[in-house]
């Protein structure tokens, strides 16, 4: 919010005189998975974008120009995302792209953005989006590798070395599985069991039974999104497994507490500061941004916020900030401004981009949480 305020102040001071010319609106194009299997990610993203674009316009727009959001729903289908991205670039003539809910959708849009030379901020998690670095592509979400690393750091502290991994067969889960396998050794962790479940599975008892009977398991790490991890958590308690249970940042929302109920007690997970805005220490630089976002979203939609909406907020604000810094909508200039982002405090963390890092978050942007008494508690 601070950034937004600063941005707007800057606009007001320098560019208000230009507004009289009724300039062309700045067009931001977005393809999100508002329906389909990734709907619970895309839905808050779309709502967040709509809400803040309206707010920006109410406060005078960017560079004195109105911001126009052109948004399509790919239904979680990457090939549709590709088609809609073409439509945005060629037909709607958007200036920038903010979107791509799933890594698959994002990756299908990347070649188009690169070819057209259009700044593109993705809202998807996979490391491949920004590694290797692509000239025009940036992303806001924490990568799955960071989530695995954060979890392993916590496990190290507890002296855990033998871990069972249970991952979802969704894009999110499989990318997470790959990264988890890749970084495990670095933290002295051996994956003694490696199971999967489908995103629409209704019973993970068999997989958990197999894990329960694997000798030497000290902890279980679940990598998934949405309702699957909640069912895993319930099954886990029912089967009476009393090993530490870790989840990924994919379930970092109050929704998870609601779905898993008392079974969630004791679950640990890495999460952006966003879902514990009210519990952050007062001197945390993210606190004002996070609480303002949470309050605004709650007021507008009467739903609790999720980290995914936060990613969209950061994507939009990074773009706005870059446009403001560049002083124009010139694509190359905005791209350079994005890459030069330094210390931008967002909902998901503090972003500092560089020519070799187009995500700009480090491990400190994740907080380790534990579920205590049906609520999130910040671990030291």
Partner 1 sequence: MLTEFFQYLFSGITVGATYAMAALGFTLIYNASNVINFAQGEFIMLGGMLAVLFTQAGLPLPVAVLLAVVVPTLVGVLVEKSVIEPVKGADTVNIIIITIGASLVIRGLVQVTLGKNARALPAFSGEAPVTLLGAVLPSQSLWVIGVTALVVAGLWFFFNRTMGGKAMLATAINRTAAQLVGINTAWVLTLSFALSAGLGALGGVLVTPITLTAYDAGIMLGLKGFVAAVVGGLGNGMGALVGGLLVGVLEAMGAGYLSSAYKDAVPFVLILLILFFMPRGLFSAKTTERV
Partner 2 sequence: MRDPRHLGLAVLAAVLAVLPFVLPNSFYLDLAIRMAINAIVVLGLNLLIGFAGQISFGHAGFLGIGAYASAVLPTHYGVHPMLALGAGAAAAGALAAAVSYPIFKLKGHYLAMATLGLGIILNIAFRNEAALTGGPDGMPVPSLELFSFTLSSDRDWYWVVAALLVVSVWASLNLIDSPFGRALRALHGSEVASKVVGVDIARYKMAIFVMSAVFASIMGSITAHYVGFVTPTVSEFFHSIELVTMVVVGGMASVFGSLVGAVLLTALPQILATFEGWETVAFGAILILFMIVLPRGLVPTLAARLGKGG
The CA distance from 303 to 315, in Å, is 21
Work out how close the CB of 276 gets to partner 2 at its nearest, in angstroms, rounded to a whole number: 30
Task: Kindly list the distances between the CA atom of residue 319 and the CA atoms of 7, 67, 251, in Å, as whole numbers in the listed order.
Answer: 11, 11, 26
- Does 111 participate in binding partner 2 (rule CB under 8 A)? yes
Would you give the binding string for partner 1 spanning residues 235-274, x where CB under 8 A is met?
A: --xxxx--------------x--xxxxxx-----------
- Stretch binding partner 2 (CB under 8 A), from 74-82, 140-148, 205-213, 247-255: 74-82
Helical residues (DSSP H) of 220-306, grouped into ranges: 227-238, 254-260, 287-301
Residues between 26 and 65 with contacts to partner 2, criterion CB under 8 A: 34-35
47-55, 62-70, 223-231, 289-297 -> range binding partner 1 (CB under 8 A)? 223-231
The answer to whether residue 122 forms part of the interface with partner 2 (CB under 8 A) is: no
Q: Report if residue 194 touches partner 2, rule: CB under 8 A.
A: no
Q: Which among 268, 289, 41, 278 is positioned nearest to 154, based on CA atoms? A: 268
Q: Choose among partner 2, partner 1, none what residue 103 binds, the Cβ cut-off being 5 to 8 Å by kind.
A: partner 2
Strands 190-197 and 162-168: parallel
Q: How far is the CB of 130 from partner 2 (least distance, A)?
A: 14
374: left (phi over 0), alpha (psi -120 to 50) or beta: left
* DSSP one-letter code for 25: P
Residue 126 contact, options partner 2, partner 1, none, Cβ 5-8 Å cut-off depending on partner type: partner 2
Interface residue with partner 2, options 11, 94, 107, 219 (CB under 8 A): 107
Residue 68, preceding bond cis, omega within 30 degrees? no
Q: Rounded distance, CA 31 to CA 74, Å?
A: 6
Only one residue has tokens 């791209």, namely 335
Choose the contact partner of 227 out of partner 1, partner 2, none; CB within 5 to 8 A by kind. partner 1
Q: Which of 227, 247, 305, 329 binds partner 1 (CB under 8 A)?
A: 227
Interacting residue with partner 2 among 19, 57, 87, 201 (CB under 8 A): 87
> Please, what sign has the CA dihedral across residues 289, 295, 300, 306?
positive
- What H or E segment, with its residue span, contains residue 208? helix 205-212
What CA–CA distance (Å, rounded) separates 199 from 176? 14
Q: Is 224 in the site for partner 2 (CB under 8 A)?
A: no
| Residue from 291, 294, 307, 311 nearest 367 by CA | 307
- The window from 52-60, 136-144, 173-181, 250-258 that contacts partner 2 (CB under 8 A) reads 173-181
Q: How many chain residues are in contact with partner 1, going by CB under 8 A?
A: 37
* Structure tokens given for 373: 């008494």
The contact set with partner 1 (CB under 8 A) reads: 35-37, 39-40, 43, 169, 195-198, 200-203, 205-207, 209-210, 213, 226-227, 230-231, 234, 237-240, 255, 258-263
The contact set with partner 2 (CB under 8 A) reads: 34-35, 72-73, 76-80, 82-84, 86-87, 90-91, 102-104, 107-108, 111, 126, 128, 169-171, 174-175, 178
């Amino acid at each position: 919010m601070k950034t937004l305020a600063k941005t707007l102040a800057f606009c007001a001071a320098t560019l208000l005189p230009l507004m009289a010319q009724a300039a062309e609106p700045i067009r931001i194009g977005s393809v999100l998975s508002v329906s389909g299997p990734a709907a619970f990610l895309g839905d808050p993203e779309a709502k967040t974008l709509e809400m803040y674009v309206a707010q920006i316009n109410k406060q005078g727009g960017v560079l004195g120009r109105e911001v126009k959001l052109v948004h399509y729903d790919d239904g979680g289908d990457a090939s549709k995302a590709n088609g809609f991205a073409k439509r945005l670039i060629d037909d709607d003539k958007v200036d920038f792209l903010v979107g791509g809910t799933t890594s698959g959708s994002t990756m299908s849009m990347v070649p188009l953005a690169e070819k057209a030379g259009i700044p593109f901020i993705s809202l998807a998690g996979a490391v491949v989006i920004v590694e290797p670095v692509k000239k025009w592509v940036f992303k806001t979400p924490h990568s799955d590798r960071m989530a695995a690393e954060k979890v392993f750091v916590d496990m190290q502290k507890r002296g855990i070395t033998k871990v069972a991994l249970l991952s979802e067969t969704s894009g999110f889960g499989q990318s997470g599985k790959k990264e988890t396998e890749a970084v495990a050794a670095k933290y002295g962790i051996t994956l003694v069991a490696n199971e999967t479940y489908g995103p629409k599975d209704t019973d993970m008892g068999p997989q958990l039974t197999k894990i329960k009977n694997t000798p030497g398991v000290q902890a279980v790490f679940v990598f998934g999104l949405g309702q699957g991890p909640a069912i895993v958590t319930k099954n886990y308690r029912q089967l009476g497994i009393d090993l530490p249970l870790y989840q990924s940042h994919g379930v970092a929302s109050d929704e998870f507490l609601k779905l898993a109920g008392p079974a969630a007690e004791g679950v640990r997970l890495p999460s952006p500061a966003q879902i514990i805005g009210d519990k952050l220490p007062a001197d945390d630089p993210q606190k004002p941004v996070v609480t303002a976002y949470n309050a605004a979203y709650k007021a507008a939609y009467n739903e609790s916020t999720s980290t995914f909406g936060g990613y969209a907020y950061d994507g939009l604000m990074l773009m706005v900030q870059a446009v403001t810094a560049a002083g124009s909508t010139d694509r190359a200039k905005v791209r350079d401004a994005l890459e030069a982002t330094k210390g931008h405090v967002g909902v998901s963390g503090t972003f500092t981009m560089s020519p070799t890092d187009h995500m700009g978050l480090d491990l400190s942007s994740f907080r380790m949480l534990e579920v205590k008494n049906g609520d999130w508690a910040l671990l030291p």
